[in-house]
Amino acid sequence: MQLAQLIDAPAGTPTDSAAFRGRPVVLEFWATWCGGCVAAIPHLNALAKEFQGKPVLFLSVTDENPAVVRAFLKRRPMGGWIGVDRDDATVRRYGIFARPQTFLIDAHGVLRGGMLPNKVDAGLIDRLIAGRLRAVYSPIADSSRVETRTVAGAPAPLLDVRIRPAAPVAVSGYSPGAQIEDHGSFQIFGSTLRSLLAYADGMRSDRIQGPAWIDRDRFDLAVTVPYGRDAIRKQVVAEALTETFGLSVRHEEQPTEVYVLRAASGGATGLKPSHPISKGFWAAPGHLTGVGTSIPQLIFRLGGELHGVQVVDETGLQGSYNFDLIWQAGDVASLKSALHRQLGLSLTKESGPEDFLVLVAAEQAKTR
């Protein structure tokens, strides 16, 4: 393990595996933007407090910018050490494709278990310390998360689509809206029908019109397509949604107001090109700090401040940028001024025809 930095560790602690040699480690992979990770903090903090003074280390590793992490910790303290990964080396080594994920490592550096943080308990840690923990593994994200009737021992399906009412977070382990992609399978947890349609049709979710329940009922979706055929995934999901919910839809143009984001006449001088590995985002009312952030990501973050009005990107800017943006929260005029003065971007409201997806018919699916 090679970390770029340790936060909340004793001064002078080495950032490689020497810091952990000879003692068990509860290793957590997390991020400030991960809802499931944040939800798991109280549980891991309670365990860290229970085992304080005992020979076990709680280490939470993220690949975010240290400034973003430190700002988060001021609001949500964590009970163990915080490790900042070096060039994603640790994330790659452990094959992290989704967060949160927790690993139990014994005093000899041997991996003894992997699971979601809410599955870690005092009994497991006691056995880890005593050297009596053998292999224990609880799948992080696999096809078993969305149940289906299969034949035991049969090969994995070539084509598989499953839609079910959303399982509670305590069961799925993921917060609503989480998306997991792993070895050809794709899963979405706790999503509304509006969001699933937006994924399948490539539409903005606010350009979909239908009955009120498409924003209320939540579902889990899992889809597997034949190897090398990822391009058909959205088509398969769209057809499954149509049949499951009896959908009849049409596309129509409707006059709509939008904001258009462009580079100001002097250029986007406040956007500083970033290192491709560093990334993170910190948000507070009237304040956005981005590290390794693209223009589409900036636009997404501004959505709430602009009351859901679509922002069209005409900046022509590619790549990732660092920036710090401060304005008077809730004041669109202040935001427009801040974008211009601080980042060199202009934001203007314009009107024109926009494509909408209208649900002519939709039925709430019945469960057995």
Query: Is the pLDDT confidence value at 148 over 60?
Result: no
Residues 107 and 199 in one domain: no
Domain stop point among 226, 245, 264: 245
Task: Say whether both 220 and 285 belong to one domain.
Answer: no
Q: Provide the phi-psi class of 79: left if phi over 0, else alpha when psi is between -120 and 50, else beta.
A: alpha
Condensed to tens digits (0 to 9), the pLDDT of residues 57-74 reads: 999 999 888 888 999 999
pLDDT tens per residue across span 333-353: 999 999 999 999 999 999 878
For the chain, what is the largest distance between any 2 Cα atoms, rounded to a whole number of angstroms? 68
Q: Same structural domain for residues 266 and 334?
A: yes
pLDDT at 214 over 80: yes
Q: Does residue 240 share a domain with residue 177?
A: yes
Residue 326 falls within a domain, yes or no? yes
- Domain of 292 in residue numbering reads as 255-355
For 98-139, how does the pLDDT look when each residue is reduced to its tens digit (9 = 90+)?
688 899 999 888 888 888 888 899 999 999 999 888 776 654
Residues 93 and 160 in one domain: no
Domain boundary among 76, 108, 137: 137
Inside any domain, residue 368: no
- The reply to whether 219 and 277 lie within a common domain is no
Provide the whole-model pTM. 0.51
CATH number at residue 84: 3.40.30.10
Residue 250 within a domain: no
Q: Contact at 8 Å (CB) between 306 and 260?
A: no
Q: Which of helix, strand or coil describes residue 302?
A: helix
Q: Is residue 216 part of a domain?
A: yes
One domain for residues 155 and 184: yes
Residues 65, 121 within the same domain: yes
Q: Are residues 131 and 15 in the same domain?
A: yes
Count of the separate structural domains present in the chain: 3
Question: Does 92 share its domain with 151?
Answer: no
21 and 125 both lie in a single domain? yes
In the chain, what percentage of residues exceed pLDDT 70?
90
Mark which of 219, 245, 271 sits at the end of a domain: 245
Domain match, 204 and 262 both: no
Query: Is 366 part of a structural domain of the chain?
Result: no
Contact 320, 266 (CB under 8 A): no
Residue 62 lies in a domain: yes
Write the CA distances from 28 to 53, 79, 110, integer angstroms.
Answer: 19, 12, 16
Would 196 be classed as within a structural domain? yes
365 in a structural domain: no
